[in-house]
Amino acid sequence: MQIWPGHPYPLGATFDGTGTNFALFSEVAERVELCLIADDGGETRIELTEVDGFVWHAYVPGLNPGQRYGYRVHGPYDPANGHRCNPSKLLLDPYAKAIDGQIDGDPSLFSYRFDAPDERNDDDSAGHTMTSVVINPFFDWGHDRPPQHEYHASVIYEAHVKGLTMRHPDVPEELRGTYAGIAHPAIVDHLASLGVTAIELMPVHQFVNDPHLVEKGLSNYWGYNTIGFFAPHNGYSALGQPGQQVQDFKAMVKALHAADIEVILDVVYNHTAEGNHLGPTLSFRGIDNAAYYRLVDDDQAHYFDTTGTGNSLLMRHPHVLQLIMDSLRYWVQDMHVDGFRFDLASTLARQFHEVDRLSAFFDMVQQDPVISQVKLIAEPWDLGAGGYQVGGFPPLWSEWNGDYRDTVRDFWRGEPSTLAQFASRIAGSSDLYEHTGRKPIASVNFVTAHDGFTLADLVSYNEKHNEANGEDNKDGESHNRSWNCGVEGPTSDPEVRALRGRQQRNFLTTLLLSQGVPMIAHGDELGRTQQGNNNVYAQDNELSWIDWNLDAPRLALVEFTQRLVRLRRDHPVLRRRRFFAGQPDQDRESNLRDIAWFTPSGENMRQEAWEVDHARAVMVFLNGEAISEPDPRGEPIVDDSFLVMFNASPDDLTFTLPPADFGAEWTCVLDTDHNLEVGESVDAASVVKVTARSTVVLTRPAGTAGAGASGLGSA
């Protein structure tokens, strides 16, 4: 076998059509061996003798895609000083584009002995660990193009590759639970008919299936346990052949783009699957532990952990930053994804100890010509001190708005003193974002997500029911801000069932009519239940998979959601790019403010009305003729106007509509209790009955308001 010197860049294994270049960073290594793995498990070791800037490299002519490989790194094993090299461990390439197999939990995977933790374990891990795979980088993208939906026009659908497809009767059995399953017309057509503009996939980076879960008959279903930042998870490949997952993933993206749907990835760059000092040695730990991981300053045998998983990546090390930026660019440029949602993003901002929005990572993203142009969404918290940072990320970023989720849940379950906060949230959360020059798109609004109750369970359970997880119901969030509508769990009571249906429609209506970027959790539009389990991270079974066998109420919920998404899509006033000013548009011949709030009696909301602790109802006027922003061609945007009546109280209420200055006649477009018929007309200043715990939406065409309105409303 010929071995040429090769090049130190790019890192990883790069096939150029005639051979493969290998490059691995390790500052601490004394020797590095490239290990080529045969089909029978046999191993050919090649010592890398070329080193430039701590990058060990070689080129192997004639080495083709499909070749499995790993590394053995010789260097200091000195945990007290942060070093854990051990050449008996076959290590994954941090830049591997594909990974084969899974770990099996064998003791050889660990660098210490279970019976003597202070002693090094020199048992060989080959055959028990995962291997890297050389991939074929070539793919026929055809006419693929990124949809590039503007943020304010986006509707995000959070989904799990397996959970979305595993039980769909129209997806062939061999494709269920795979990238090809999502690319199947049955799934693409559902997403397109729903009207979503982007699918946000839960982790698809290669992750580790924890042996301790497998022993209990469970698995790491969610996938927040990354070990390969460049490799699509091999368990989601339809054929299961080494390297095939890359082609499968690209074909999925191509199919979704053809349907005008973007692909956003939920990425976990804050930690790896190697865990704490008692975890396995799979890759980074054995390559250069002190460079990749954040260690406790005065106790380098242990890891500084703000993620709750055992370790945190060292965000101030240049090669860690390079790894993350190279990974992000790869997924955009080679895999054609359209954006990222960053798990526990506050950890990425911890350059030292505190969360710093001006950290090196955010600086690098800001100036990067590729990454800065895609959608960037932060989960703006971690588990460390000061980690809750909603509203604290740089202008380029959007954020999961946890305050939105909590406030909207509290409002609809009838908590006191929530009305003012509710109004702020549905108006775009300017109190959180405007002071830093950000716009409503900074707020990714959600009521439910993968972590917590489904929408159906949110209105059916007061308590979590996580017994299936085997942790005595101690795992998962206990404070869910949920309300079971009077009965815990399933019931045949028609009144309770009707109320639960109405509450689900209230939540969806609130979400889709709020300023910001709405995110729907997969299956919520179908009434999906997890039977009260709010933490299905380990439930790779029918408890977490979507049931596509829809009865009449669930079909009706799908149609209701579709109608809401269309309403939002068709009306710019429901998805403004700028915050409400609370003032008339100076360029229009009208004194009507862009937004106005009213009590149910039709009076302007004054400060004292917002402060009434038992107030659970409000009417909001959205002025479609006061959108102070131009369309892409510079023309003023003129839209219909809306009146939205929210009644979260346990009693039916009558709402008095504003005077004719706001609109002479209104038409019902939505009533979550079906009390008003769609298309039914209502005159100005008349009275409308709004059922207990329901929402009514009225509209009137542009140009039908009085020109001299005097009741300007309160901003």
Distance of alpha carbon 431 from the chain centroid: 23
DSSP conformational letter for 230: E
Round to whole Å and give the CA distance between 185 and 197.
16
Place of tokens 């003729």: 625
User: What 3-state DSSP class applies to 13?
Assistant: strand
User: What b/e readout covers 328-342, taking b as 16+ CB neighbours within 10 angstroms?
Assistant: bebbbeebbbbbbbb
Neighbours of 273 (CB within 10 A): 26
Q: How far is residue 492 CA from its own chain's centroid?
A: 35
H-helix or E-strand containing 339?
strand 339-342
Q: In whole angstroms, how large is the CA radius of gyration of the chain?
A: 27
CA-CA-CA-CA dihedral for 302, 270, 208, 90, to nearest 10: -60
Six-digit token string for 563: 């109608």
Q: Give the 3-state secondary structure of residue 502.
A: helix
Amino acid of residue 377 = I
Helix (H, G, I), strand (E, B), or coil: what is residue 457?
A: helix
Three-state secondary structure call for residue 164: helix
d(CA 105, CA 618): 57
Catalytic center residues: 343, 379
Give Cβ neighbours of residue 560 (< 8 Å, ≥ 6 apart). 505, 508
If you search the block for the tokens 């009767």, which residue do you land on? 169
Question: Phi/psi of residue 425, each to 5°?
Answer: -70, -45
The one-letter amino acid code at 202 reads: M
How many CA atoms, within 13 angstroms, populate the side-chain half-sphere of residue 28? Answer: 24
Helices (H), 368-434: 402-412, 419-426, 430-433
Closest CA to 177 of 143, 202, 151, 148: 202
For residue 682 the two structure tokens come to 């209502």
57 - beta bridge partners? 23, 50
Q: Work out the number of other CB atoms within 10 angstroms of the CB of residue 54.
A: 15
Q: Where are the beta strands (DSSP E) in 577-664?
A: 595-598, 617-622, 627-630, 636-637, 641-647, 653-656
Close Cβ partners of 654 (under 8 Å, ≥ 6 residues apart): 600, 687, 688, 689, 690
Q: Quick one: DSSP state of residue 4?
A: B
